[in-house]
Structure 1
């Protein structure tokens, strides 16, 4: 395998990748392939991975489904609780569709076949690192965005509703930013796929549903004033309700209870 040149724009800042895998041959290839632009650290199992995630604060985490030694989705969830780094899961033939979805629901940014192409993996990582939340150039120019009680900071990937931290994954943050950047407008599923996942839509886009469901729950726990409304067959729109509108809804709810 030929040595890779350092990608333009990455030379001045070496990223850190934590690889959770017990295959020495795979670890050797990973270190060799990315060594010019990513510092690679390796651990053999999920528990060691959690410890090193806290210690290293890696930019990228590459988790082999087989090496997790515990429930993969649960490990993804624990990693996501302590890290905002990009989380890739490598799935073997024994990993079913429901398990893949569970990993997405637990915060994985991508799930790839363990028989992946090295060049493809490198390109996926480059795209996500460079584009961050995959916004268009106009949105990238702004680092802070306000929408009603919602405040988002793209430099830290943190979002607050009435000063309550939503604690979002990068994918959840990117979805919310894409909608908040277009107040009052409907954002289609196809547009979310292009902006957040950076690929053209296919029939299999259930990953959007899993991320949206988690995002809706987090918004609901923070406040009823901001919510994601579904435009059936079209897309989604972020709504911010005024205090007056909230009072009207409460009065209607009380009237319905009588």
Structure 2
């Protein structure tokens, strides 16, 4: 199930978009402003953000720039204005799409699904981070051109973290993404797999490491 973040200071708009997306099978998180949105993103893995431009505390342009610094997710900007200057500023901030209020509900759904498909294809690509190269189709890890074959869950865990460098994920999020919602184990499973990955690569990989963020979870940091 894909998770969508809605950032809008208008409670009525948040409710309408949330109901629309939930009917389409999406999980939805909401925020009243840009600062609150960043807090949500730190705690919850979101697949797409729908961002209103005119918000207090932090507007949509600045929020888009902040999201682009740390998260590789598609962004749709919402605005009541239809001026070319506003659209230009939005795309310069890093948005993927732009929708003017009022909009047809079906149009929003079309755009959301189109962006998720586009980003989904991108996420299937191989990963290259410094000396680390991950062949996602061949299930191979290469570091300094030496190939390593990992157990499946270790491979999936490393691939997921490497797909989102410098982003912190809680143990629960990692379990949900790697083991699925039906997993009956506990959070120690993540700790064990992280320990194994560190034992394999700490001494041979100088440009990335898996960092423990106390009280939250783990992050793959690129040096």
TM-score w.r.t. the length of structure 1 is 0.45
Q: Distance in 2 between matches of 1:81 and 1:42?
A: 20
From 47, 52, 61, the counterpart of 2:40: 52
Aligned partner of 2:31 among 34, 38, 43: 43
1:119 Cα offset (Å): 0.3
The aligned residue for residue 78 of structure 2 is 90
Could you tell me how far 1:31 is from its partner in structure 2? 1.9
Do the aligned partners of residues 154 and 67 (structure 1) sit closer, same or farther apart at CA in structure 2, a change above 3 Å counting?
farther
In the alignment, the residues of structure 2 paired with residue 44 and residue 27 of structure 1 have an alpha-carbon distance, to the nearest angstrom, of 9
- Distance in 1 (CA, whole Å) between partners of 2:60 and 2:15 is 23
Counterpart of 1:34 (choices 11, 15, 21) is: 21
- CA contact 1:20–1:68 (8 Å) conserved in 2: no
Q: Which has the larger radius of gyration?
A: 1
1:23 to 10, 13, 19: 10
Cα deviation digits, residues 90-124 of structure 1 (max 9, x gap): 0112x642232122122111111021111011011
Q: Aligned partners of 1:86, 1:153: CA distance in 2, in Å? A: 24
2:125 matches 1:143: yes
CA RMSD for the aligned pairs?
Answer: 3.4
Alignment pair present for 1:99 and 2:81: no
SS at match of 2:14: helix
Aligned length: 138
Distance 1:153 1:70, change over 3 A: farther
How far off its partner does 1:74 sit? 2.3
Structure 2 stretches lacking a partner, 5+ long:
138-161, 165-223
Q: Runs ≥4 in structure 1, deviation > 3 angstroms?
A: 68-72, 142-146, 151-155
Q: Which residue of the other structure, out of 111, 128, 133, is the alignment partner of 1:124?
A: 111
Matched residue of 1:81: which SS? Answer: helix
Q: 1:23/1:74 Cα in 2 relative to 1: closer, same or farther (>3 Å)? A: closer
- Equivalent residues in 2 for 1:1-258, closer than 5 Å: 14-36=1-23, 37-67=25-55, 69-93=57-81, 96-132=83-119, 143-144=125-126
Gaps of 5+ in 1: 1-13, 156-164, 168-258
User: Distance in 2 between the 1:100 and 1:153 partners?
Assistant: 37
Quick one: distance in 2 between partners of 1:49 and 1:154? 31
SS at match of 1:67: coil
Q: 1:68 to 1:53 in 2, by over 3 A?
A: farther
Contact 1:17/1:38 (8 A) holds in 2 = yes
Query: What's the offset of the Cα at 1:26?
Result: 1.4
